[in-house]
Amino acid sequence: MEREKPFYTFTHGETTFAFRRPDIAQVDRFTSRMARAPLSAALDFTRELALDQEAWARATAEKPGLALTAANGILEALGFQAG
């Protein structure tokens, strides 16, 4: 099986995490939850898109705020202005 090409990569320390491109439903779900529960929304969104879900789950269990940074980067890569 061929490895999936990452849409977005995020480096923290010496580790790089790769994420697939979200579909419209995933972006809609994430943005609708952002105002009420930003961290939870970012965690769910990025965990769903991570190519190495186990490594990303370990990283965000230790530092949950990484999900907010990665989610903003994914949205910026899609052409949204993060704010």
Q: How far is CA 18 from the centre of its chain?
A: 9
Residue 83 scores a pLDDT above 80: no
- Segment 11-26 shows an average pLDDT of 96
**H-helix segments, 1-83:** 24-34, 38-49, 53-62, 66-77
Residue 1 scores a pLDDT above 50: no
d(CA 79, CA 16): 22
Residue 2 scores a pLDDT above 80: no
Q: What structural domains does the chain harbor?
A: 19-77 (3.30.2220.10)
Whole-model pTM? 0.90
d(CA 11, CA 17): 6
At 69, the pLDDT band (50, 70, 90 cuts) reads: very high
